[in-house]
């Protein structure tokens, strides 16, 4: 058996975890090789010393530091999650508001265009009313006025209220 | 401060104007007042930062009240006593393909196609007035004239030169047209119905419904306020382009409908697209159907 092989398994050998032929081979090697014998002796000494040591009580501040670190990590995660959710909510609400405002604006613009055509129509009806105020002309004029009031009302309800 | 001043002005104007409304005689004054208030509302909409919601709602209420008061005057059934009804009938022979132009203003027009080569015009003139004398005087000036030239026939309705609010009239026309005659119709306040013409058909009205049925030639229609109803003959071959502003288009043909803000278009070629059809409506709903 070579020294490297013995050195690799020496700790297990001392702990009694190696059995059978391999244990026998290492024992034979240790009797012959002074260097490995010395290494085995050092290892036995270290293990014996370790066993004789009494358990050390960690100081209180260690637990405080650990708790503090864990709490900070958790807090950071929570704050990050809340901030992300808030940003997402702001983006969603902002987008919805923008879409709604644009739709309202578009509707209002269309209503303004309609008001222009109704103004022209009313003017034309009133011209005809001077020439021939028959029932048809009067009814048309009335319908135009009604449509105009309806359109203005639509702008009121759709347009930005103060 | 500005808002308060404007509010006081508007309420002040409202109180001054809020008087009971009279009869048809002062209709112009009432309409002026209504128009003035509508204009204020319109301006109010444009400069909305100047006005509070309360003031604007007050403006709307005021206009609605004025309109309600005007309803009885505008939709009132004539209280004029003297009614004069004149009838007009004329028949003339036409040559094949001679276009007929109809220039009309107040009243309905119904045109039917016939297999004969005669153009028959039936007109009913209804005139109402406050006094018999005025009615008689005006009845002389209102009529129907047919002008015949080599290349066209014109049917023209005549209106009085001077007008009085104490008189109103309408002329309803029924025309039997040779089916091979192209027809051009211009009207202002009244419906137009045309059926069975085999040639070009062009209709332009301002305020009234247009109904075209089984027209076999090219069609060109324009309307300002009022629906357009087109019923095409079975197995039609046409190229359709329909457009309306502030209106709707309904069709049972496979047309491509496009919307751009308040403009709605319907385009499509049916079969070989042999004849063209152009419909143009403003504030009009358009219905395109095929006779089944």
pLDDT digit string, tens, across residues B192-220: 999 999 999 999 999 999 999 999 999 99
Residue B78: its pLDDT value, please? 56
Q: Which of A110-119, B35-44, B63-72 has the highest mean pLDDT?
A: A110-119
Residue A18 lies in a domain: yes
Give CA separation, A42 vs A47, A53, B71, B157, in Å.
9, 17, 118, 132
In this structure, are residues B135 and B127 in contact, taking their beta carbons and an 8 Å threshold?
Answer: yes
> Where residue B45 falls among pLDDT bands split at 50, 70, 90?
low
Residue A158 binned pLDDT confidence (cut-offs 50, 70, 90): low
Residues of B in Cβ contact (< 8 Å) with A115: 42
Q: What is the pLDDT of residues B74-99, one digit of tens each?
A: 766 556 667 778 889 999 999 888 99
pLDDT at residue B15 tops 50:
no
Rounded to whole angstroms, how far apart are CA atoms B249 and B119?
Answer: 34
> Can you tell me whether residue B262 is helix, strand or coil?
coil
Whether residue A118 is contained in a domain is answered as no
Q: Which residue has the higher pLDDT, B53 or A134?
A: A134
Residue A155 lies in a domain: no
Best mutation site among A102, A114, A132 for testing chain B: the one with the most B CBs within 10 Å?
A132
What interface predicted TM-score (ipTM) does this complex get? 0.79
Is A17 among the domain residues?
A: yes
Q: What is the mean pLDDT of residues B111-136?
A: 88
Confidence (pLDDT) at B19 = 35
The predicted-structure confidence for A6-49, as pLDDT tens digits, reads as follows 888 888 898 888 888 889 999 999 988 998 999 999 988 888 88
pLDDT tier at B173 (50, 70, 90 boundaries)? very high
Query: Rg of the Cα trace of chain B?
Result: 24
* A145/chain B closest Cα distance in angstroms: 8
A146 within domain boundaries: no
- Scanning A83-142 for CB atoms below 8 A from B yields 106, 109-110, 112-115, 117, 119, 121-122, 124-126, 128-142
- Which residue is closest to B63 within chain A, CA to CA? A149
Q: Is residue A36 part of a domain?
A: yes
Residue A25 lies in a domain: yes
- Read off the pLDDT band of B51 (50, 70, 90): low
Average pLDDT in chain B: 83
B261, closest residue in chain A (CA to CA): A110
Q: Which helix (H) or strand (E) holds B122?
A: strand B118-129
Residue A24's domain comprises 1-53
Burial, B68: exposed, middle or buried (Cβ in 10 Å; 0-12, 13-18, 19+)? exposed
What's the pLDDT score for residue B250?
94
Predicted pLDDT at A81: 95
Q: Domain for residue A153, yes or no?
A: no
What percentage of chain B exceeds 90 in pLDDT? 51
- 8 A C-beta contact, residue B185 and residue B154: no
**Residue B48 scores a pLDDT above 80:** no
* Number of domains forming the structure of chain A: 1
Q: What integer is the mean pLDDT of B145-173? A: 86
Share of chain B above pLDDT 70, in %: 83
Q: What is the mean pLDDT of chain A?
A: 86
């Amino acid at each position: 058996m070579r020294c490297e092989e013995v050195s690799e398994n020496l700790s297990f050998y001392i702990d009694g975890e190696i059995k059978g032929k391999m244990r026998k081979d290492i024992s034979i090697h240790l009797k012959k090789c002074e260097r490995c014998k010395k290494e085995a002796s050092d290892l036995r000494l270290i293990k014996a010393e370790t066993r004789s040591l009494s358990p050390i009580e960690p100081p209180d501040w260690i637990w405080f530091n650990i708790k503090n670190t864990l709490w900070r990590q958790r807090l950071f995660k929570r704050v990050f999650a809340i901030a992300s959710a808030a940003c997402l909510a702001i983006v969603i609400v902002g987008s919805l508001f923008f879409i709604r405002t644009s739709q309202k604006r578009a509707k209002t613009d269309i209503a303004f265009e309609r008001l222009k055509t109704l103004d022209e129509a009313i003017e034309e009806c009133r011209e005809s009313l001077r020439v021939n105020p028959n029932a048809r002309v009067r009814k048309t004029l009335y319908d135009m006025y009604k449509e105009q009031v309806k359109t203005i009302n639509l702008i009121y309800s759709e347009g930005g209220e103060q | 401060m500005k808002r308060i001043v404007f509010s006081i002005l508007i309420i002040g104007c409202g109180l001054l104007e809020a008087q009971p409304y009279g009869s048809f005689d002062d209709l112009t004054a009432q309409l002026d007042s209504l128009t003035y208030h509508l204009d204020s509302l319109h301006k109010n909409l444009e400069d909305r930062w100047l006005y509070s919601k309360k003031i604007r709602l007050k403006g709307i209420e005021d206009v609605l009240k004025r309109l309600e008061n005007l309803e009885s005057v505008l939709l009132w059934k004539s209280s004029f006593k003297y009614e004069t009804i004149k009838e007009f009938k004329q028949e003339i022979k036409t040559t094949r393909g001679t276009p007929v132009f109809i220039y009309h203003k107040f009243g309905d027009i119904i045109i039917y196609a016939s297999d004969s080569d005669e153009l028959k015009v039936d007109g009913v003139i209804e005139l109402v007035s406050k006094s018999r004398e005025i009615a008689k005087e005006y009845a002389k000036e209102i009529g129907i004239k047919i002008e015949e030239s080599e290349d066209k026939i014109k049917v023209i309705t005549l209106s009085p030169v001077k007008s009085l609010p104490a008189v109103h009239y309408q002329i309803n026309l029924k025309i039997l047209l040779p089916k091979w005659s192209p027809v051009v119709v211009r009207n202002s306040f009244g419906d137009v119905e045309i059926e069975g013409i085999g040639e070009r058909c062009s209709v332009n009205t301002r305020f009234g419904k247009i109904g075209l049925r089984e027209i076999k030639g090219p069609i060109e229609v324009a309307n300002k306020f009022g629906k357009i109803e087109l019923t095409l003959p079975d197995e039609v071959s046409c190229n359709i382009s329909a457009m309306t502003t502030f209106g709707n288009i309904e069709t049972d043909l496979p047309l491509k409908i496009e919307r751009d803000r308040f403009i709605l278009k319907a385009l499509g070629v049916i079969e070989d697209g042999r004849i063209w059809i152009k419909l143009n409506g403003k504030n009009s709903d358009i219905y395109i159907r095929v006779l089944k």
